């Protein structure tokens, strides 16, 4: 099966409205169309989602959010619901990013609940998993990633799983300038795909897009994306400049 390559830019807590307009106009100039079998999405902060959607009109680039709450509405001060994201025109939502886990205490159980709600609402979740440097050096990467995958997708049906994107993000490679070697990344992607085959079926495992995230840059994107089980990238810092984001998309 030939899976599409999905390049998603996670803007994190960057870009005012004016800066959003500058960046998306730059992306439009660089990427008037996408290469065959390549999909792309941008994930700005909440305050820029509406403007981003308007600026992306007519382009094949999709819109995603960086998080959501697992309810449609209610007394949850400071939270954003899937219904609100859909009303803006979001297609994707990033869930369980390592920064959400690290700084806001999100656990697999909560990510599981959010992912199920995203799917039932019509959003595509990009669910993040990955080990810390201490866990990598302790030789327990496979145990950690296996626990996260099992926890995040417990109770998923086959249909739900086929509509989900996974992003493997080694925590030690996020924002550090360090990148897993293509071989290291491929090894964990293969572990995830094998686990999904056991949890669901080989057909499901072969159909799922598994991105790599962690200091992806134009300089290393092509080699990473050429690995057999790496189906795209969740891009951090390099997506904040139109030329580097476009270069990564083209390298796919």
Q: Which residue has the tokens 């995830």?
A: 192
- Cβ atoms of residues 8 and 233 within 8 Å: yes
Is there a catalytic annotation at residue 169?
A: yes
CA distances from 95 to 128, 164, 233, 234, 235 (A): 6, 11, 15, 12, 14
Annotated catalytic residue, options 99, 106, 169, 189: 169
CA 28, CA 242: separation in Å to the nearest integer? 9
CA distances in angstroms from 33 to 27, 40, 246, listed in the order given: 10, 10, 11
Number of CB atoms found within 10 A of residue 134's CB: 10
Residue tagged active-site, from 79, 97, 137, 154: 97
Q: Which 8-state DSSP code applies to residue 3?
A: P
Is 109 tagged catalytic? no
The answer to whether the CB of 79 falls within 8 A of the CB of 109 is no
| Contact in structure between 123 and 83 (CB atoms under 8 Å) | no
Query: Which residues are registered as beta bridge partners of 166?
Result: 127, 210
Cα–Cα distances in angstroms (integers) from residue 130 to residues 18, 80, 167, 180, 202, in the given order: 33, 25, 8, 11, 22
The owner of tokens 């050429």 is: 226
Rounded CA-CA distance 150/200 in Å is: 11
Which are the catalytic amino acids?
A: 97, 169
């Amino acid at each position: 099966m030939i899976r599409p390559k999905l390049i998603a830019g996670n803007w994190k807590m960057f870009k005012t409205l004016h800066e959003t307009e500058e960046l998306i106009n730059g992306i439009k100039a660089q990427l008037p169309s996408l290469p065959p079998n390549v999909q792309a999405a941008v994930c700005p902060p909440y305050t820029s989602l509406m403007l981003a959607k308007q600026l992306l009109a007519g382009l094949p680039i999709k819109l995603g959010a960086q998080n959501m709450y697992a309810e449609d509405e209610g007394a949850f001060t400071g939270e954003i619901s899937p219904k609100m994201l859909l009303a803006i025109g979001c297609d994707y939502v990033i869930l369980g990013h390592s920064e959400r886990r690290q700084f806001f205490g999100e656990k697999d159980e909560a990510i599981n609940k959010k992912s199920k709600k995203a799917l039932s609402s019509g959003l595509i979740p990009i669910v993040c998993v990955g080990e810390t440097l201490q866990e990598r050096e302790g030789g327990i990467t496979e145990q950690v990633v296996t626990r996260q995958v099992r926890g995040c997708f417990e109770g998923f049906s086959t249909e739900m799983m086929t509509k989900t994107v996974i992003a493997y993000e080694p925590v030690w490679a996020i924002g550090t300038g360090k990148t897993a070697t293509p071989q290291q990344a491929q090894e964990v992607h293969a572990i995830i795909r094998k686990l999904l085959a056991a949890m669901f079926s080989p057909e499901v495992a072969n159909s799922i897009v598994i991105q790599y995230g962690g200091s992806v840059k134009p300089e290393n994107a092509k080699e990473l994306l050429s690995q057999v089980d790496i189906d795209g990238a969740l891009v951090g810092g390099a997506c904040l400049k139109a030329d580097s984001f476009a270069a990564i998309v083209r390298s796919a």
